[in-house]
Amino acid sequence: MPTPIHKLSGLLAGLLISTSLALAAAPAATDKAAAADKTAAADKSAAANKSSAAGEPAPDAHFKIETQTSEGSVTIGGRKLDYQATAGTLIVHGKGWDDVPQNADKDEKIPPAEASMFYTAYFVKNSGGATARPITFLFNGGPGSSTIWLHIGAFGPKRVLTPGDTHPGAAPYAVVNNEYSLLDASDLVFIDAPGTGFSRISGKDREKEFFNIDGDAHAFADFIVQFLSKYGRWNSPKFLFGESYGTTRNARLIAILETEKFLDFNGVINLSQIEVFDANADDAETNPGVDLPYLVALPSYAATAWYHHRTSNAPATLPALLSEVEQFAMHDYAVALLAGSTLDAAQRHAIAAKLHDYTGLPVDYIEKANLRIDIGEFTKNFRDDSDATIGRLDARFAGPTIDRLSKKADYDPQFAAIGSAYASAFNDYVRGTLGFSPDRYFRVIPADINAAWGATSAHVSLLEGKAPNLLPDIAVAMKYNPRLKLMLNSGYYDLATPYFEGIYELNQLPIPDSLRANIEIRFYESGHMVYAHEPSLKALHANVADFIRRASAAN
């Protein structure tokens, strides 16, 4: 059985997407916060000087709170909204930190681990008071990804334009008013995880402290509690929005917030969900005997073939096709895979022929693959006749195959297509428009986080080597707070976190039937990053804004 690190490393390239917060507080509140920052900075400086004079390192001197405030406006649905933007950092510590900076060991010359977490908050002005307005904390995943994707691709006030399902040219890129920003429904806080973006970690055992499911979630919980205090938002309706690994983070984070911080949230919004890592079809061949990944991935393979006109004997509409494939996957296909080596040749060929009809892959290839095709194999071989590799994040995309003789895809065409546009546009925006320009590199997706990542958590992995399963955390949070609402958003052409995997996970959620009414699901004709397809972004905005309004009013 693969270790959690193995499973997570197989997902890094696709589990991207994790800053905004809109403050409706009066200018006096902003001035008060700024004064508090200056006082905190002065205290830190004094502590650092005192410690240095004594020949000992200051335990919290390596980071400082930063803020840069600006103003702007965005037009959504014909309505102009003025906002205040704050780009800055807050300092968080590990799980056992007791609010009193101190060295655990007098002989220890390295300060305890801490993280400087970068955020961008957007507060709409003249909105009737801060407590009356919802606030949403947004983050991408990875687990080692910054949150530029949701920020400048989906819900921030500015959006970078990328063309359909093709590779755009190089810079300059167009950055426009985002008419689909969520600022019409909520103030927004976009957060970069420790070690990503402008967020940094330091101190003793820093990777061990923050680069795992539990430590990462506790860092975000610490950040959220500090943020609510700093900006006076404790009594606002509150939401979490996570994409990809951000949905994994959401599960652990909401459990911590509800049960440890005594902080009820109104809703949790997941985009491109993954909670049961054994259900994911990345490198599934390394986990023989577990056939679930092939079953839940099949409908997305069929959607891909439908989009590229490679299905045979298929219904005319995509929903009709997917309904048929879902039934086949959980019945005939499941029975065939469970039979293993006892499946006779005639049945084996019949299943392979049906898989050919749904996926467009050759029957002989399917039989050689033992009826089991993982994501890397599918993306590499789906259009092998045309020397093209299709996207793992979004199967609508295609790019030149790097190695025709390789068994699996060597890269993701969608990520290759849009990565430069997002990175270039955001760096220009945050340093220019927002005026936050530290003398450090913005780490879009630092590979070293994935290499150091672990999945240790009492709530996640009881046995060493067990792949993470976050369903218990979601269930605990929903039972602890029976009014908590949960929303799943998925793209049909997402092969990284297939839409049917999300459905399966929620169907297995161990909660009473009375709480299932708190769950809603929406689908889009797009990929992992649903918002990279403008019609889907429009629908996503409408659905999420409506969810936030309803969940805010429910209490």
Give me the CATH code for the 4-278+425-553 domain, please: 3.40.50.1820
- Residue 129 has a pLDDT of 62
- Which amino acid, 4? P
Tokens 């983050």 belong to: 139
Q: Is 77 exposed, middle or buried (0-12, 13-18, 19+ CB in 10 A)?
A: exposed
Q: Per-domain residue ranges for the chain?
A: 4-278+425-553, 286-414
Cα 32–Cα 35–Cα 41 angle in degrees, nearest 5: 145
- Residue 43 has a pLDDT of 44
Alpha-carbon distance values, 101 to 93, 104, 117, 162 (Å): 10, 9, 18, 46
Mean pLDDT by 10 residues, the chain (555 residues): 40 39 32 42 40 35 85 96 97 78 55 92 82 93 94 96 78 91 98 96 90 94 97 96 97 97 97 95 88 97 95 90 97 97 96 96 96 91 80 86 76 78 94 91 88 58 65 97 98 96 97 96 96 96 98 83
Rounded (10°) CA dihedral 58, 256, 232, 211: 40
- Which amino acid, 435? G
- Residue 520 has a pLDDT of 97
Bridging pattern class, strands 135-139 and 238-243: parallel
What is the C-alpha separation between 236 and 388, in angstroms, rounded? 49
Are the C-beta atoms of residues 97 and 219 closer than 8 Å to each other? no
Per the document, the length of the chain is 555
Neighbours of 263 (CB within 10 A): 17
Residue 467 makes CB contacts below 8 A (sequence gap 6+) with 1, 2, 4, 7, 276, 277, 278, 287, 455, 461
Consecutive H or E run containing 87 = strand 79-93
Residue among 394, 396, 390, 364 at smallest CA distance from 377: 390
- Residue 115 has a pLDDT of 94
Consecutive H or E run containing 111 = none
Q: What is the SS3 assignment for 293?
A: helix
Q: What is the SS3 assignment for 260?
A: coil
